[in-house]
């Protein structure tokens, strides 16, 4: 019974997710960001270092940028429902707050993961073809093992960033506030901490979600790449930890909230 | 389950909405203050009160959107959130604008249907019921106020529920729409459903409701049949014309009525039912040339009731 109810809640959330244009615009925007970042990082790798690399490697480097698209994609299903009051109709239909939040998290995270894996694959192919042009000389290939591993990690990364966003959005409710908070967490705070030069603060900066995500993805092509000298699994643990904290905060606030 | 008799129809219970000491505090403001009310099936229960009296808060608490500070609200003896398919039990229009403006009418209703295992065709059906068929593909943000209201009513009807809750349902409806809604509410009650409606439009309420629950400052002011609320009003009066008005006035006062003598032969009596005035005259052998009931409108009765509550709250005055 509860499984049925949860599956139905997920179905309803999916129906809501795909029936507004903003979802599709966010996907397009994320794709454009991903492509632009990957071409840039790909060209950089091709001209800078020599040698060959998997065409997914520059896609992975681009995560530092296209995560913004994932944030937007994951934020709007939550904040737009609050802005319009639609959340009241939705919660009337699914009055168990935990179930409602779970459905939202499942839909947003899986959509972000699937879209990122598919987009990453297409982008990798485009990057490989692009780098066959002069003056790059075709250094990028599509070796099965590394490509699959990169794509799976990208999917996992996208799901976690989406969940982090859902947690913050549920707690904050407003789009502007959510964006400001996530911008601070993903970009401003690490820069600020790193610029202090204090060793423990720099270490912390590298373990905030963006650094943790890049470490987990094994990204080496961004300026922070060389600094991320801790194991990928530690990166995953940090990112998952931040996500769990955000979701826990969102859930706690949501449970006691009058809608 | 669908297609068969609605769940709850067979329940022996005659009470479907139960508020037990429901209390809701927002900061230091007490929105609902120990409200204990039962709402019964088979009739339209009107929910009245000035702005800020706590009507919407009460309705939101019934469907689990607002969490009570104390007390509880139950539907069919259970908490709303414990209902497996809540839309099949309670349909509520609380805020018609509560729809993502970018989602189409049909997509909105289908997503709600899906969450409660209601077939898609039922969503298309209620779109027709409320007269939104021609705009089913339009985005909700492009609907007029009245059409938005109809969309909210469609969502309430979606699960063919036993209990219907409408907060200010005729807001924005045109006269035809108001009449349509009145017919809908009456029909739903006649089918044995529970219909709980709030409104500021007293004339509309007088035409729609069988029973009234009146709130003032979060407290219960009245919970009585419409006819009783009207009869109890001091503005409901009996006009009598008699050649022996003086004699009759004395006897009516003895019987407990308040009598005002308009002229040589006309009296206005309050506090006595029209039958009682006739009986008093008959027992005394006094001839009557006219015996007429002047019933207060709900508007008047309501004004009087809420004014008294405000007075009572401010400084208790003598009670007639």
pLDDT of residue B236: 81
Cα–Cα distances (Å) from B37 to A109, B22, B34, in that order, read 44, 9, 10
Same domain, B154 and B276: no
Q: Show the domain range for B198.
A: 17-224
Would you call B65 and A256 a contact, using CB atoms and an 8 Å cutoff? no
The pLDDT score that the predictor gives to residue B80 is: 95
Tell me what pLDDT residue B37 has.
93
Asked if B63 and A95 come within 8 Å (Cβ–Cβ), the reply is yes
**A79: pLDDT strictly greater than 90:** yes
| Partner A contacted by B32 (CB < 8 A) | no
Tell me which of B183, B200, B224 is where a domain ends.
B224
Q: Which of B214, B203, B155, B148 is nearest to B179 (CA)?
A: B203
Q: Give B66's contacts in chain A (Cβ within 8 Å).
A: 258-259
Give the model's confidence band at B311: pLDDT under 50 very low, under 70 low, under 90 confident, else very high. Answer: low
My answer on whether B180 and B279 are in the same domain is no
Contacts of B97 in chain A (CB under 8 A): 84-85
Cβ contacts of B45 within 8 Å, gap of 6 or more: B39, B194, B195, B196, B197, B209, B210, B211, B212, B213
pLDDT band at B294 (very low <50, low <70, confident <90, very high): confident
Is B229 contained in some domain?
A: no
pLDDT at A1 over 60: no
Number of structural domains in chain B: 2
Residue whose pair of structure tokens reads 């004395």 in the numeric block: B250
For A2, name the nearest residue in chain B, comparing CA atoms only: B84
Whether residue B31 is contained in a domain is answered as yes
- Domain-located, residue B161: yes
Residues B127 and B154 in one domain: yes
Assess if residue B12 is contained within a domain.
no
B97–A258 C-beta distance less than 8 A: no
Substitution target in A25, A77, A89, A255 with the highest count of B β-carbons within 10 Å is: A89
Residue A18 has pLDDT above 50, yes or no: yes
B138 located within any domain: yes
Are B207 and B241 part of one and the same domain? no
Look at B116 and A93 and tell me if their CB atoms are within 8 Å. Answer: yes
In this structure, the answer to whether residues B181 and B124 fall within a common structural domain is yes
Mean pLDDT of chain A: 93
pLDDT at position B79 is 93
pTM: 0.85
One domain, residues B61 and B102 = yes
**B220-232 mean pLDDT:** 85
Task: Write the ipTM.
Answer: 0.87
B318 has a pLDDT exceeding 50: no
Whether B207 and B242 map to the same domain: the answer is: no
Residues B172 and B85 reside in one and the same domain: yes
For residues A125 and A1, which has the higher predicted lDDT (pLDDT)? A125
Segment A17-26 mean pLDDT: 94
The confidence band for B307, taking pLDDT boundaries of 50, 70 and 90, is: confident
* Same structural domain, B115 and B209: yes
- Out of B80, B100, B111, whose CB is closest to A95? B80
Q: Do A15 and B100 touch (CB under 8 A)?
A: no
A63-84 and A209-217 helices, crossing angle to 10°: 130
Whether residues B153 and B68 share a domain: the answer is yes
Residue B302 belongs to some domain of the structure: no
* Predicted local confidence at residue A153, as pLDDT: 96
Model confidence pLDDT, tens digit, residues B138-187: 999 999 889 999 999 999 999 999 999 999 999 889 999 999 999 999 99
b/e per residue A130-141 (b: at least 16 CB within 10 A): bbeeeeeeebbe
Within 8 A of B59 by CB-CB distance, chain A residues are none
Rg over alpha carbons for chain A, rounded to the nearest Å, is 19
Write down which residue in B191, B224, B257 finishes a domain. B224
* CATH (domain of B283): 3.30.70
Q: Is B227 on the interface with A (CB under 8 A)?
A: no
Residue B4 banded pLDDT, cuts 50, 70, 90 = very low
Q: What is the DSSP letter of B86?
A: G
B80 contacts in chain A (CB < 8 Å): 95
Q: Which residue has the higher pLDDT, A169 or B221?
A: A169
What radius of gyration do chain B's Cα atoms show? 23
- Which residue among B174, B203, B224 closes a domain? B224
**Dist CA B35 CA B139 (whole Å):** 39
Q: A31 vs chain B: nearest CA distance in angstroms? A: 22
Residues from A in contact with B at Cβ < 8 Å = 1, 4-5, 8-9, 11-13, 15-16, 19-22, 80-81, 84-96, 256, 258-259
Shortest CA distance from A100: residue in chain B: B115
Q: Determine the distance in angstroms separating the CA of B302 from the nearest CA of chain A, rounded to an integer.
A: 30
Question: B47 pLDDT band (50/70/90 cuts)?
Answer: very high
Residues B207 and B259 in one domain: no
A93: Cα within 13 Å, side-chain hemisphere: 31
What are the helix (H) ranges across B131-244? 145-157, 175-190, 202-208, 226-232
Residue A157's pLDDT is: 97
C-alpha separations of B171 from B54, B150, B166 in Å: 18, 10, 11
B230 lies in some domain: no
CB-based contact, B22 to chain A, within 8 Å: no
> What CATH number does residue B26 fall under?
3.40.50.300
> What pLDDT is recorded for position B167?
94
Quote the minimal CA–CA distance from A9 to chain B in Å: 5
B260 domain residue, yes or no: yes
- Residues from chain B that touch A87, judged by Cβ atoms under 8 A, are 98
Q: How confident is the model at residue A19 (pLDDT cuts 50, 70, 90)?
A: very high
Optimal mutation site among B115, B142, B157, B159, interface A, most CBs of chain A within 10 A: B115
What is the rounded distance in angstroms from the CA atom of residue A67 to the CA atom of residue B310? Answer: 57
Q: What is the per-residue pLDDT for A168?
A: 97
Within this chain, do residues B273 and B208 fall inside the same structural domain, yes or no? no
Is the pLDDT at B314 greater than 50? The verdict is: no
CA distance B143 to A176: 26
Label residues A205-239 b or e (16+ Cβ within 10 Å = b). bbbbbbbbbbbbbbbbbbebeebbebebeebbbbb
Looking at chain B, the whole-number percentage of residues with pLDDT higher than 70 is 92
pLDDT of the residue at B1:
39
């Amino acid at each position: 019974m509860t499984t049925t109810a949860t599956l139905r809640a997920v179905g309803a959330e999916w129906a809501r997710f795909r029936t507004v244009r903003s979802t599709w615009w966010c996907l397009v925007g994320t794709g454009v960001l991903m492509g632009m970042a990957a071409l840039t990082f790909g060209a950089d790798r091709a001209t800078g270092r020599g040698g060959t690399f998997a065409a997914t490697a520059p896609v992975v480097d681009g995560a530092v940028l296209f995560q913004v698209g994932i944030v937007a994609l994951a934020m709007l299903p939550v904040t737009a429902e609050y802005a319009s009051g639609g959340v009241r109709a939705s919660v009337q239909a699914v009055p168990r707050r935990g179930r409602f939040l779970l459905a939202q998290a499942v839909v947003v995270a899986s959509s972000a993961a699937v879209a990122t894996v598919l987009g990453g694959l297409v982008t990798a192919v485009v990057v490989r073809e692009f780098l066959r042009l002069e003056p790059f000389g075709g250094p990028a290939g599509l070796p099965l093992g590394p490509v699959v591993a990169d794509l799976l990690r990208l999917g996992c990364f996208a799901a976690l960033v989406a969940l982090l966003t859902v947690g913050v959005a549920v707690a904050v409710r407003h789009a502007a506030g959510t964006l400001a908070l996530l911008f601070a967490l993903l970009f401003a705070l690490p820069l600020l901490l790193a610029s202090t030069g204090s060793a423990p603060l720099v270490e912390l900066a590298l373990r905030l979600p963006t650094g943790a995500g890049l470490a987990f993805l094994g990204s080496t092509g961004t300026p922070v790449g060389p600094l991320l000298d801790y194991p990928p699994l530690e990166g995953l643990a940090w990112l998952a930890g931040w996500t769990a904290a955000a979701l826990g905060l969102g859930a706690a606030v949501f449970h006691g909230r009058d809608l | 389950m669908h297609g068969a008799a609605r769940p709850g129809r067979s329940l022996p219970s005659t009470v479907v909405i139960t508020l037990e000491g429901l209390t809701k505090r927002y900061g230091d403001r007490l929105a609902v203050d120990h409200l204990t009310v039962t709402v019964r099936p088979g009739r339209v229960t009107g929910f009245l009160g000035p702005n800020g009296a706590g009507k919407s808060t009460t309705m939101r608490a019934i469907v689990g959107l607002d969490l009570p500070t104390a007390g509880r609200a139950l539907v069919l003896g259970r908490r709303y959130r414990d209902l497996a398919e809540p839309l099949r039990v309670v349909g509520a229009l609380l805020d018609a604008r509560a729809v993502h403006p970018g989602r189409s009418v049909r997509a909105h209703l289908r997503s709600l249907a899906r969450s409660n295992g209601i077939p898609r065709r039922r969503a298309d059906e209620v779109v027709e019921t409320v007269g939104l068929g021609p705009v089913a593909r339009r985005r909700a943000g492009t609907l007029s106020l009245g059409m938005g209201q109809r969309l909210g009513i469609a969502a309430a009807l979606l699960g063919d529920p036993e209990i219907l809750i409408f907060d200010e349902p005729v807001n924005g409806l045109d006269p035809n729409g108001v009449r349509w809604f009145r017919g809908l509410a009456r029909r739903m009650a006649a089918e044995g459903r529970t219909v709980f409606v709030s409104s500021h439009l007293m004339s509309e309420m007088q035409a729609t409701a069988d029973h009234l629950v009146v709130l003032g400052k979060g407290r219960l002011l009245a919970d009585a049949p419409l006819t009783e609320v009207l009869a109890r009003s001091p503005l409901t009066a009996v006009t009598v014309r008699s050649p022996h008005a003086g004699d009759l006035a004395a006897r009516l006062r003895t019987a407990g009525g308040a009598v005002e003598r308009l002229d040589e032969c006309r009296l206005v009596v309050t506090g006595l039912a029209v039958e009682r005035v006739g009986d008093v005259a008959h027992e005394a052998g006094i001839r009557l040339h006219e015996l007429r009931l002047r019933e207060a409108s709900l508007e008047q009765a309501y004004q009087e009731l809420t004014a008294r509550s405000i007075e009572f709250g401010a400084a208790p005055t003598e009670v007639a």
